[in-house]
């Protein structure tokens, strides 16, 4: 033939194989369209799982038997966000017979439920419909920003696959339920992208809103501090050519200080409204009292207590040490350099924050969602078999997580 040749049974037209033509068509599609398709398909799959579990759900304190999707998607913390969106925060803390502060709305930041309230008033729609819609849209935005962020360091294929993993992660149901995680992830990823691009002043409103959406203000402030230290010691590690001067260090110093202050602002607001100095921390401690009883918050002891409760000592201490060392090895392995030091420093800062204040229990997997940029490391191998198996594993783990945490089984002590 004048315009092509035949190789086996697959014709090659104009010197191009079918696979090459397919890849050319794929690359012609704008990246945001590809990510949108991935996100929509992932949400349909997760939605089907949630509907399957809703069909099994017995009547409980949150819903009737066999609830609708929206009702099922607004249980657990969604019930607290509904309380805040419809009635605000209590001015008097609830206490038990012994005088201990019990679970209440002050454990939850205001940006997400107040946004939902505003949209409810504007549209007249129900809390469930608005809250789930906000999460879906914010999750879509998070997926797009995630792809853009990873694209700063990885090639198109790897950045896209990392985003696929982000969309199908075991706890990705958070992107379509009445939780603040979607909104928090969107704001966090925007802040990280702005940090990578060194757009410090633009970060300020993002950091302010992020600190009032999820309790990440102190962790982000620590990230900026670590970044400044590395910049001062080894500028090349953060892709700088010279050490910071007073002029160049001022913007990140302001961002770090503002983020840290925002991290302290919510406890201060809770104190001002309730008149109880430890209103926020005492409220948070109420959630762990069913595990270890009523204890004061001593920084960097919760994980020791938690691993001791789950696994007994000394096994708990050994497992905790292995987990911390394993995380450090993973983050600082040579291959991890491909995603840039900023994203790895964020993971370190956030994990240090969790080690300081968080008690490990069934919510741990959801709480770890902010270190999702590390998926860029997981996405480095190009093997098709590896990638297919990894996506399949994420879907299986997603099903298992919904079964263990989201489905309400009588007196359930495994909240997501």
pLDDT digits (tens, 9 = 90+) for 345-398: 999 999 999 999 999 999 999 999 999 999 999 999 999 999 999 999 999 999
Residue found by looking up tokens 């049974």 in the block: 9
**Model confidence, pTM:** 0.94
Looking at residues 108-124, what average pLDDT do you find?
A: 98
Residue found by looking up tokens 């080690």 in the block: 355
Looking at residues 159-166, what average pLDDT do you find?
A: 98
CA Rg value for the chain: 23
pLDDT for residue 19:
62
pLDDT for residue 233:
97
Residue 77 has pLDDT above 60, yes or no: yes
How does residue 290 score in pLDDT terms, banded at 50, 70 and 90?
Answer: confident
Looking at residues 144-160, what average pLDDT do you find?
A: 97
**Average per-residue pLDDT in the chain?**
94
Which residues are bridge partners to 4 per DSSP?
A: 13
How does residue 304 score in pLDDT terms, banded at 50, 70 and 90?
Answer: very high
Least confident of 18-27, 173-182, 324-333: 18-27
pLDDT for residue 339:
97
Express each pLDDT in 220-260 by its tens digit. Answer: 999 999 999 999 999 999 999 999 999 999 999 999 999 99
Q: How large a percentage of the chain has pLDDT more than 70?
A: 95
How does residue 413 score in pLDDT terms, banded at 50, 70 and 90?
Answer: confident
Residue 6 has pLDDT above 80, yes or no: no
Residue 3 has pLDDT above 60, yes or no: no
pLDDT for residue 410:
80
Choice between 107 and 22, residue whose per-residue pLDDT is larger: 107
Looking at residues 86-114, what average pLDDT do you find?
A: 96
Residue 127 has pLDDT above 60, yes or no: yes
The CA distances from residue 327 to 49, 182, 324, 347, 352, in Å, are 30, 24, 5, 10, 11
Q: How far apart are CA 345 and CA 63, in angstroms?
A: 41
Express each pLDDT in 361-370 by its tens digit. Answer: 999 999 999 9
pLDDT for residue 18:
60
How does residue 17 score in pLDDT terms, banded at 50, 70 and 90?
Answer: low
How does residue 16 score in pLDDT terms, banded at 50, 70 and 90?
Answer: low
């Amino acid at each position: 033939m004048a315009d092509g040749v035949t190789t086996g049974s697959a014709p090659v037209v104009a010197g191009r194989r079918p696979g090459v033509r397919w890849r050319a068509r794929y690359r012609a599609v704008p990246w945001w369209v590809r990510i949108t398709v991935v996100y929509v398909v992932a949400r349909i799959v997760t939605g089907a799982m949630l509907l399957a579990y809703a069909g099994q759900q017995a009547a409980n304190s949150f819903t009737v038997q066999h609830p609708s999707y929206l009702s099922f998607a607004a249980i657990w913390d969604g019930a607290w966000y509904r309380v805040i969106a419809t009635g605000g925060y209590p001015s008097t803390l609830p206490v038990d017979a012994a005088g201990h502060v019990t679970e209440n709305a002050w454990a939850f930041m205001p940006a997400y439920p107040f946004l939902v309230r505003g949209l409810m008033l504007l549209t007249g729609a129900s809390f469930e419909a608005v809250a789930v819609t906000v999460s879906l849209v914010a999750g879509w935005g998070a997926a797009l920003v995630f792809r853009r962020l990873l694209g700063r360091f990885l090639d198109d294929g790897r950045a896209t696959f990392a985003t696929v993993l982000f969309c199908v992660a075991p706890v990705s149901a958070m992107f379509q339920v009445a939780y603040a995680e979607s909104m928090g992830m969107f704001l966090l990823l925007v802040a990280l992208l702005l940090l990578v691009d060194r757009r410090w002043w633009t970060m300020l409103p993002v950091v302010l809103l992020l600190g009032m959406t999820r309790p990440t203000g102190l962790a982000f402030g620590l990230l900026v501090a670590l970044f400044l230290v590395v910049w001062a010691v080894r500028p090349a590690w953060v892709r700088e050519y010279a050490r910071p001067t007073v002029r160049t260090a001022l913007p990140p110093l302001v961002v770090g200080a503002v983020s840290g202050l925002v991290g302290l602002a919510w406890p201060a607001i809770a104190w001002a409204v309730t008149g109880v100095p430890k209103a926020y921390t005492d409220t948070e401690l109420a959630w762990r009292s069913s595990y270890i009883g009523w204890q004061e918050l001593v920084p960097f002891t919760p994980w020791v207590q938690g691993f001791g409760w789950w696994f007994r000592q000394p096994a708990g201490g050994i497992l905790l040490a292995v987990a911390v060392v394993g995380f450090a090895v993973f983050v600082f392995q040579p291959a991890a350099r491909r995603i840039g030091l900023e994203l790895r420093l964020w993971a370190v800062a956030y994990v240090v924050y969790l080690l300081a204040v968080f008690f490990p229990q069934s919510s741990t997997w959801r709480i770890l969602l902010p270190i999702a940029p590390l998926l860029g490391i997981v996405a480095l191998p190009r093997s098709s078999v590896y990638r297919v198996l990894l996506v399949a594993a994420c879907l299986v783990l997603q099903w298992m997580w919904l079964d263990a945490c989201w489905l309400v089984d009588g007196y359930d002590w495994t909240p997501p």
